[in-house]
Structure 1
Amino acid sequence: MTTPSAAPLTDAQWDFLESKLEQYKSETSVWNTSELDGYLTALVSGPKVIAFEEWFEALWGGSEFMPVWENAQEAKRFIGLVIQHMNEIAGKLMENAEEFSPIFMEDEHEDGHFTLSVEDWCFGYERGVVMGDGWEGLPEEEQELLACILVHTYDDESDEEEIDPEEAADMVCIGALTLHAYWLAQRTPSEPVRTADKVGRNDPCPCGSGKKFKQCCLH
């Protein structure tokens, strides 16, 4: 078995992921690469390891919304790139936290200038938090950091003063780093380091080919 790569994705690889998320999206799925980045960040940061088949189905909103791939190669490439990026996130959070940089979208304004938008990333992070048990056990200080992320997922039409986009991005990044560090410290020494690939070798491949994973997208 080849160890999954943790190398940064190329622009072409990002374009492929973005196009497939758009092609196969539903009302309940991850819609873009910013949301995907937030989702994967929460998955590798939480208190428990979540099996691949669980989080991959949840990426699409459930088993009934899983893509009908054009062919096995398309599925294999998509899965491989998602796992590769997940490994990159995990590596940065574990060993190079100063290099961690969430992928935020940009909003274009009427005057033509752009500002960062954290909303999609935070929706993805929320999706990852919901996937895992144990987040409710956060101490008060860490709960406040999580709230600073999740507040950007609320459909709030209040008249409260908006947070500066750059400040919001900084707060979300700091929150994600701190939450990962907290849960990392809670893991017992005997608990294995989480890895992205959690599909059993004899389980059906999530690409939908009908083959066992070890005979399909594992290779």
Structure 2
Amino acid sequence: MPTTCPRWANDRERDRFVNLTLQHMSDVAERLDDYPEQFEPLFGTREEEGQELTIVGEWCFGYMRGVGLGSWPALPAELQAELDIIALHGTEAQFPAVEALSVDDFLASVERIKPAALALYQYWTEHAQPAEVPQPIRNDAKVGRNDPCPCGQR
């Protein structure tokens, strides 16, 4: 994870980046809400020995990075299993498990990523935590000029 903030040439460049990022986030949320059948994780591909291979690790690592940034509370067991599908391809600790998969098991696990992401999105949409709105600080009523002092002094 980067430890430094981006350096922008000027405020306009920064604002453009932020606006494009928010537009993209809004577009993705709208598609997931209204057209989930159109959702496709953007996996990379690589050609090896004349075969095109799907690279899911980058997408899954990005997803897990977002999970870490979001500080998700514990999930119900059935949804934890969905997150585990993504984590299988998105955490270094799972490298040995991925390497031990047969080709058929690997392909089956890749096919489960999309439904897992959709199920997790649906869950968090239904169980969204309301943002904490800071409450204004209220002082006790002020003592009037002719009122007795609350400390008991005369």
TM (norm. structure 2) is: 0.70
2:112 is paired with a residue of what secondary structure? helix
Partner of 2:123: 182
1:154 matches 2:91: yes
* Rounded Cα–Cα distance in structure 1 between residues aligned with 2:65 and 2:47: 26
1:145 matches 2:85: no
Partner of 1:170: 111
For residues 81 and 166 of structure 1, do their structure 2 counterparts lie closer, same or farther at Cα, with a shift above 3 Å needed? farther
**Stretches of structure 1 lacking an aligned partner (at least 5 in a row):** 1-27, 29-60, 193-219
Do 2:61 and 2:91's aligned partners in 1 also have CA atoms closer than 8 Å? no
Spell out the pairing of 1:55-204 with structure 2 (5 A cutoff): 61-62=2-3, 65-111=4-50, 113-136=51-74, 138-155=75-92, 156-157=95-96, 160-164=100-104, 167-187=108-128, 191=130
**Stretches of structure 2 lacking an aligned partner (at least 5 in a row):** 132-154
For residues 167 and 85 of structure 1, do their structure 2 counterparts lie closer, same or farther at Cα, with a shift above 3 Å needed? farther
State which drifts further: 164-173 or 85-94. 164-173
* Rounded Cα–Cα distance in structure 1 between residues aligned with 2:61 and 2:44: 12
The alignment of Structure 1 onto Structure 2 pairs a total of residues equal to: 127
Q: Superposition RMSD on alpha carbons, in Å? A: 2.3
For residues 88 and 168 of structure 1, do their structure 2 counterparts lie closer, same or farther at Cα, with a shift above 3 Å needed? farther
Partner of 2:141: none
TM (norm. structure 1) is: 0.51
1:80 is paired with a residue of what secondary structure? helix
- Cα distance, 1:74 vs. partner? 2.6
Query: Which amino acid letter does the alignment assign opposite residue 135 of structure 1?
Result: P
* Rounded Cα–Cα distance in structure 2 between residues aligned with 1:70 and 1:171: 42
1:135 is paired with a residue of what secondary structure? coil
- Cα distance, 1:176 vs. partner? 0.6
Q: Which has the larger radius of gyration?
A: 2
Q: Percent identity?
A: 32
- Cα distance, 1:123 vs. partner? 0.8
* Rounded Cα–Cα distance in structure 2 between residues aligned with 1:76 and 1:88: 18
* Rounded Cα–Cα distance in structure 2 between residues aligned with 1:163 and 1:171: 14
* Rounded Cα–Cα distance in structure 2 between residues aligned with 1:114 and 1:72: 42
Which one scores higher on RCO, CA 8 angstroms, separation ≥ 6? 1
Do 1:129 and 1:135's aligned partners in 2 also have CA atoms closer than 8 Å? no
* Rounded Cα–Cα distance in structure 1 between residues aligned with 2:125 and 2:91: 28
2:40 is paired with a residue of what secondary structure? coil
Query: Which amino acid letter does the alignment assign opposite residue 10 of structure 2?
Result: N
Do 1:122 and 1:149's aligned partners in 2 also have CA atoms closer than 8 Å? yes
